[in-house]
Amino acid sequence: MNLNSLIIVESPTKVKTIGKYLGPEYEVRASVGHVKDLPKSTLGIDPDKGFEPTYQVMESKKKVVAELKKAAAKADQILLAPDPDREGEAIAWHIAEEIGKGKIVRRVLFNDLTHDTILEALAHPLDLDFNRYEAQQTRRILDRLVGYQISPILWDKVKRGLSAGRVQSVAVRVICDREAEIKAFVPEEYWNLTALLEGENPPPFEAKLLKIDGKKAKIGDGERSAEVVASLQSAPFTVSTVEKKEVKRQPPAPFTTSKLQQEASRWLRFSAKKTMSTAQKLYEGIELGQEGPVGLITYMRTDSVRLAVEAINEAREYIAGNYGEAYLPPKARIFKVAGAAQDAHEAIRPSSLAHPPQAIKAFLTPDQFRLYQLIWNRFLACQMNPALLDQTTVDITAAKCLFRAQGSVMKFPGFTTVYTEGKEEKEDNGDENGFGKLLPAVHEGEILKLVELQPEQKFTQPPPRFTEASLVRELEENGIGRPSTYAAILSTIQDREYVLLEKGKFSPTELGTIVTELLVKNFPRILDVAFTAGMETELDRIEEGKTKRLDTLNNFYRPFTEELRKAKKNMTDIKREETPTDIVCEKCGKTMVIKWGKNGRFLACTNYPACKNTKNFTQDEKGEILPEEKTTDVPCPLCGKAMLSRQSRFGKFLGCSGYPECKHTINLAPDGTPVAPAAEGTAPEVLCDKCGKPMALKRGRFGAFLGCTGYPECKNIVKASPSGSPLQSSAPQEISDVICDKCGKPTAVKMGRFGKFLGCTGYPDCKNIMKYKTPAK
C-alpha cells in the first residue's frame, strides 16, 4: 500500500523538477530556505545552560510553515529533502520540529535531480542525521558568540554598524597580511641574458643563461651583466647535450566546489557568488521545452573528487563514440580523495550526458550555458588519455657559462581537446618547457654561431594581490571555511566594506586594515589561521560522531570570555584617538590632528569648537600627509570667496572657503565640472509615466526629485540630479535572481528614496521588500 507522502525541498524550482517524476501519492512543497533562526535582537544562546540556542520561526516564514502544517496533516509520512549538506540538515530538523509531531518523518538525499536518483532516494529514505545537525548547530553558535560579542566592542571603539566574524575576519586578515607584504617589499635588481644562436640547420633559436661556474646564474647589476657579455663575445658556443623525451600531461580531476569557483573566475570572470547561484539553478532544474524541468548537474557543494561508477562508464562510452578509442584510457580513472575532504557527495559533474551543452543552449541563459559547458568539458577531460608532448632540451657551453634552450610540440592532444586549466596572471608567462617552440636539429659537439647577446634588466616583484580564484585557493589550502561558505565569505567582506575588489584584485580598505589590526591585537587566537582551520576540523569530527558539541563549545568559550573582558578594557579607542601632525590650520594657525569619523580618517583643527576646519588627506609611500582640499578658481556665487574641492561619502563637491559663515556647496558632475542646480519648480520636459502630466523639480530632505504636477491625485515621484535630470530609468523593471522569501515569486530591482531595493513581483498581493545587494563583477 502506497503512503501519501509530503516531500519538502528548499527551492520552489525543485518542486517542478521533482514533481514531474512522481505520482499523485506525492505532494512536493518548498520551505524557501531556512524556516527558523536565532533572534536578531539578542544573543539567543545561553552559555550557562549548555549553550542552548533559542530558535524562532522567522517572521517571513510563518505563512510558509502554516501552509506546510496543513499539507502535513493530510500526509501519512513526511519526506524531508533539503540540500544534502549541513545547512540542509538543519532546515530538515527545524521543519520536523514544527510539523512532524505524530508523523513518520524521514530524510531523503538527492545528489542530482534525475529520474533514477530521485526514485532511488525515495525507495531508501534515511533517518535524520543528528551528528550532521550538531555540526551545523556548533558552527552557528560559534559564529553567533563571536559576532554578537565582538561587534559591540567595535561599535564602541571604532564606529557603529561594524561586524566581526569567526571566519570572515580571518579572510580579511589574509588580504591585509598580503597587502602588508606588498608594502614592505623591496625590489631587487637582476639581469637575464639570452643568446640568439644559429646552427647548421635553420632557424636561429634562443637559449637562456642557466649557470655560471656550475652554479645558478645570478647577475645583480648592469656592471656584472656587461662583464659576462664581454667574456662571451669571442667564446665558442658548443652543444654539450641534446635530450629528447616524451612528456605526459595528465588530465585534472573533476570539479570540487573550490576548483569550480577558481576556474569559473579564470575562464568566465565569474565571482564565487555568481558561480554558485548559477550552479544552483543548473542543479535544481532548467526547463527544456517538452521535456520539462531537468536537473543538469550534481550537487554543487562538495570537496570530493569521487565519481559514481555509472557516471564513469557513461563518460567512457561517450568519449569512445564521439572522440574515438585513441582518447580512451584502458582503465577508468579513479581520483584519490584528499584526507581532509568530506566524501558525502560526488564531484560536480553533468547529471547525465544525454544533454550536451550545444543541444540545449537555446534553453539556457548565456551564463548558465558557459558554466554548464565548463563542468561538462572538465568531466569528460578527467576520463580521457593524457596529452603527449615531444620535448627537446639543448644545453650549450660557452666560456664558464651554461645556456639552455627548450622546445616542445604536441604529439597527441588527449584531454586538451576539450579542456585546459586556467592560470593566474602571474602564472601566465608562457610554457616553462617552451611549448609550441620548435628547435632546429642540432648534435652534440656542434659549434653554434652567436648572432646576438640580449641582456635584460629585471626587478623582483612583490607577491600579487589575491583574485577571487587565488583567494578561494588560499582559503582552501589553509582550511579556512568549507566549500559551501567560500562564496558567502567573499561577498560578506565586500559588503562590510573591509575590502575592495578592483580590476579583479582584492585590497583592504582603511577600515578593514584598522579593524583587522585591532582584532589581531586583542583576539589573536580567533584571528589565527591555524586556529580557524582547527575549528573546521572539530566540526568535521562532530559530524563524524568523534566528539561532542558541548566539549567543543566549552573549550572555545572559556578563554574567549577572558579575551572579551580584556578587549573591552584595553582595545584602542579609535573614535577618540587623535594623532598629532605638523599640518597648520589655514584658518586659525593652530596645528591639526588626525581623527576618525564615520567616513574614515580626516584632519581636524585642535582649536575645535572655536575652529571647525576639517579636511580629507592621503599619505604617500613614505607616510607623508597630503591634504586633499584644494583651492579652485571657481568663486562662490553667494559671497565671492574661492570654492574648495572637497570629498564626502557621496563623492566630490565644491565647498565655500568661507565656511562656516558661508555654507554654500556646488555638486560636481562625473567628469568633475560644476553642476548648476536648476531652480525649484522648473519643468525639465519629463512627463509622468503614470498620468502623463509634466513633472516639476522639487527639493526635499533627501535631495532633488521630480514630482508630478498632478499632485495630490497623482503622487508619482522620481529621484533627480541637482540639474533636474531624472536618475530613475523608465525602462522595464529588472527581474533579479532573488526569490521572494514570503511567496516564492521572483523579485524586481526597484528604486526608493534610500536607493535600490528588491520588491516582490506579486505586488500588491505580496508587498514584501528585501535588501538589494550590488552583484559582484
Determine how many CB atoms are found less than 10 A away from the CB of residue 253: 20
Structure-block grid coordinates of residue 7: 516531500
- Is the pLDDT at 724 greater than 60? The verdict is no
Helix, strand or coil, per DSSP, at residue 267: helix
Q: What is the mean pLDDT of the chain?
A: 89
Query: What is the crossing angle of helices 510-522 and 168-184, to 10°?
Result: 110
Q: How far is CA 232 from the centre of its chain?
A: 51
What percent of the chain lies above the pLDDT cut of 70? 91
pLDDT of residue 731: 45
- Is the pLDDT at 733 greater than 70? The verdict is no
| Range in 299-313, 665-679, 739-753 with the lowest mean pLDDT | 665-679
Confidence of residue 343 (pLDDT cuts 50, 70, 90): low
- C-alpha atoms less than 13 angstroms from C-alpha of 543 in its C-beta half-sphere: 21
pLDDT of residue 680: 54
Strand-by-strand arrangement of the 579-584 sheet? 579-584, 591-597, 600-605, 614-615
Higher per-residue pLDDT: 720 or 87? 87
- Is the pLDDT at 279 greater than 80? The verdict is yes
Buried b (16+ CB within 10 A) or exposed e, 222-239: eeebeebbeebeeeebeb
- Is the pLDDT at 401 greater than 50? The verdict is yes
Residue matched to cell numbers 522569501: 741
Q: What is the mean pLDDT of residues 690-704?
A: 72
- Between the alpha carbon of residue 704 and those of residues 117, 664, 682, 745, the distances in Å are 58, 16, 12, 33
For 712, phi then psi, to 5°, come to -90, 0
Q: Give, in degrees to the nearest 5, the angle at Cα 143 between 139 and 149.
A: 150
Q: What is the mean pLDDT of residues 644-666?
A: 78
| Range in 239-248, 340-349, 434-443, 599-608 with the lowest mean pLDDT | 340-349
Higher per-residue pLDDT: 18 or 433? 18
Is there a contact between 208 and 193 (Cβ–Cβ < 8 Å)? Answer: yes
Whole-structure pTM value: 0.77
**Residue range 237-248, pLDDT digits in tens:** 999 999 999 999
- Is the pLDDT at 696 greater than 70? The verdict is yes
Q: What is the mean pLDDT of residues 473-489?
A: 91
Determine how many CB atoms are found less than 10 A away from the CB of residue 665: 18
Q: What is the mean pLDDT of residues 531-552?
A: 94
- Between the alpha carbon of residue 651 and those of residues 72, 355, 464, 615, 654, the distances in Å are 55, 50, 29, 14, 10
Calpha distance 704→718 (Å, rounded): 9
Calpha distance 128→115 (Å, rounded): 23
H helix intervals, 233-363: 257-268, 272-284, 309-322
Structure-block grid coordinates of residue 688: 509622468
Confidence of residue 63 (pLDDT cuts 50, 70, 90): very high
Is there a contact between 372 and 409 (Cβ–Cβ < 8 Å)? Answer: no
Structure-block grid coordinates of residue 480: 579556512
- Is the pLDDT at 90 greater than 50? The verdict is yes
Calpha distance 98→101 (Å, rounded): 8
Q: What is the mean pLDDT of residues 252-265?
A: 96
Q: Which residues contact 14 (CB under 8 A, 6 or more apart)?
A: 28, 30, 81, 113, 284, 285
pLDDT of residue 730: 43
- Between the alpha carbon of residue 479 and those of residues 16, 193, 306, 394, 735, the distances in Å are 37, 41, 20, 42, 37
Calpha distance 197→202 (Å, rounded): 10
Residue matched to cell numbers 526569490: 739
Is there a contact between 374 and 263 (Cβ–Cβ < 8 Å)? Answer: yes
- Between the alpha carbon of residue 39 and those of residues 32, 139, 152, 326, 557, the distances in Å are 19, 16, 16, 61, 20
pLDDT of residue 706: 82
Catalytic residue numbers, as ranges: 299
Q: What is the mean pLDDT of residues 534-550?
A: 94
Task: Tell me the pairing of strands 717-719 and 734-739.
Answer: unpaired
Calpha distance 355→373 (Å, rounded): 11
Structure-block grid coordinates of residue 16: 517542478
Confidence of residue 651 (pLDDT cuts 50, 70, 90): low
Calpha distance 469→453 (Å, rounded): 39
**Residue range 348-397, pLDDT digits in tens:** 999 999 999 999 999 999 999 999 999 999 999 999 999 999 999 999 99
pLDDT of residue 428: 42
Higher per-residue pLDDT: 425 or 545? 545
Q: What is the dihedral of CA 663, 669, 670, 673, to 10 degrees?
A: -90
Q: What is the mean pLDDT of residues 566-595?
A: 90
**Residue range 494-529, pLDDT digits in tens:** 999 999 999 999 999 989 999 999 999 999 999 999
pLDDT of residue 269: 93
pLDDT of residue 678: 55
Confidence of residue 717 (pLDDT cuts 50, 70, 90): confident
Calpha distance 675→666 (Å, rounded): 7
For 774, phi then psi, to 5°, come to -60, 125
Task: Tell me the pairing of strands 205-212 and 215-216.
Answer: antiparallel
pLDDT of residue 719: 76
Determine how many CB atoms are found less than 10 A away from the CB of residue 276: 22
Is there a contact between 485 and 167 (Cβ–Cβ < 8 Å)? Answer: yes
What percent of the chain lies above the pLDDT cut of 90? 69
Structure-block grid coordinates of residue 27: 505532494
- Is the pLDDT at 259 greater than 90? The verdict is yes
Calpha distance 234→247 (Å, rounded): 36
Calpha distance 288→272 (Å, rounded): 26
Is there a contact between 692 and 679 (Cβ–Cβ < 8 Å)? Answer: no
- Is the pLDDT at 700 greater than 80? The verdict is no
Higher per-residue pLDDT: 345 or 407? 407
pLDDT of residue 692: 76
Determine how many CB atoms are found less than 10 A away from the CB of residue 544: 12
- Is the pLDDT at 775 greater than 70? The verdict is no
Number of helices and strands (H, E) in the chain? 16, 36
H helix intervals, 449-547: 468-477, 486-495, 510-522, 529-543
Task: Tell me the pairing of strands 5-9 and 77-80.
Answer: parallel
Calpha distance 225→348 (Å, rounded): 52
Q: How far is CA 605 from the centre of its chain?
A: 41
Calpha distance 383→376 (Å, rounded): 12
pLDDT of residue 276: 96
- Is the pLDDT at 725 greater than 70? The verdict is no
Confidence of residue 749 (pLDDT cuts 50, 70, 90): confident
pLDDT of residue 708: 84
| Range in 401-415, 436-450, 586-600, 726-740 with the lowest mean pLDDT | 726-740
